[in-house]
Amino acid sequence: MEVIIQDSGDDVGRLAARIIARQLLKKPNSVLGLATGSTPIGTYRELVRLHSKEGLDFSQVTTFNLDEYLGLPPSHPQSYRHFMDEHLFSHINIPKGNIHVPYGHAEAIEQFCAWYEAEIVRCGGIDIQILGVGADGHIAFNEPGSSLGSRTRLKTLTEQTINDNARFFDSKDQVPRFAVTMGVGTILEAHRVLLLAIGGGKAEVVTKAIEGPITASVTASALQLHRDVVVIVDSEAGSKLARADYYHWVSEQKKRHLPGVEV
Ligand code: GLP
């Protein structure tokens, strides 16, 4: 696990986008795992900039989003599909048929979830998965107590998540109670994971996730088992890390002694 502490949230987005851009240059038909929430917005903004100003090509890219609220059609302004269209898909040259966002309106949820898992495998697996982390330590919508081996399925949201996400809706009552989400086990199969966190509100949960015990109570902590995770946080989200000095030291030593080696 490599932990990189950046000065600002904008720097977090720029670095994450640079890592993704490098992946696309290396493998133009990469499969990207995408997240929603406020955290990755800067990353998507930078990817859009790289596309429009520097010609970053998404024409062969395939994407799989982590999750979607149950019951919100793609056209709903608070659906994750709508979020992705607004922040990324409608600004880049990705073919619409290559985009996968769990369909939160599926009649047959179980069959849909099995299909989603199979589709990820059929496309060759996820090359890079972007993740944010919820205040309760969840990744995607894998709420505390989710099995660390879980797969794509229907999940009931916790009250904390409903409260946290109420800011995007007119009222708390409108926040769906259920979501379709990739499981922790699904996420752990991505070839590479970028965990992003911005702001002091995430400081405690980031510390628990990367320096605490591996536990289903903080599903992000399962990432400690993954062999290629890059954690990128701003200084506020990284402010409670016990090993912050070491993480800074590693970044400095790499810059100084391994200048050609990128994250
Ligand atoms: C939601 C999403 C998560 C996201 C989390 C944090 O619950 N399902 O994927 O990581 O929110 O959101 P934010 O980035 O807005 O803090």
Annotate 231-253 with DSSP letters as a single string.
EEEETTTTTT-TTHHHHHHHHHH
- Ligand 1 pocket check for 66: Cβ under 6 Å: yes
Categorize the per-residue pLDDT at 103 as very low, low, confident or very high, splitting at 50, 70 and 90.
Answer: confident
* pLDDT at position 129: 98
| pLDDT at residue 104 greater than cutoff 80 | no
The gap from C-alpha 62 to its chain's centroid, in whole angstroms, comes to 15
Which protein residue's CA is at the shortest distance from atom 10 of ligand 1? 132
Report the alpha-carbon angle 206-77-137, nearest 5. 15
Instruction: Tell me the pLDDT tens digit for each residue of 13-31.
Output: 999 999 999 999 999 999 9
pTM: 0.96
* pLDDT at position 52: 98
Instruction: Tell me the pLDDT tens digit for each residue of 161-190.
Output: 999 999 989 999 999 999 999 999 999 999
Instruction: Tell me the pLDDT tens digit for each residue of 39-80.
Output: 999 999 999 999 999 999 999 999 999 999 998 989 999 999
* pLDDT at position 38: 95
Rounded distance between C-alpha atoms, residue 157 and residue 132, angstroms: 16
* pLDDT at position 113: 96
- Ligand 1 pocket check for 39: Cβ under 6 Å: yes
Residue 138 among the catalytic residues: yes
* pLDDT at position 48: 98
* pLDDT at position 77: 93
Which protein residue's CA is at the shortest distance from atom 1 of ligand 1? 37
| Distance of CA 38 from the midpoint of ligand 1 (Å) | 7
- Ligand 1 pocket check for 80: Cβ under 6 Å: no
Contact 157, 104 (CB under 8 A): no
pLDDT, the chain, mean: 96
Rounded distance between C-alpha atoms, residue 92 and residue 98, angstroms: 12
- Ligand 1 pocket check for 6: Cβ under 6 Å: no
| pLDDT at residue 107 greater than cutoff 90 | no
Instruction: Tell me the pLDDT tens digit for each residue of 113-157.
Output: 999 999 999 999 999 999 999 999 999 999 999 999 999 999 999
> What value does the mean pLDDT take over residues 104-118?
90
Residue 67 among the catalytic residues: yes
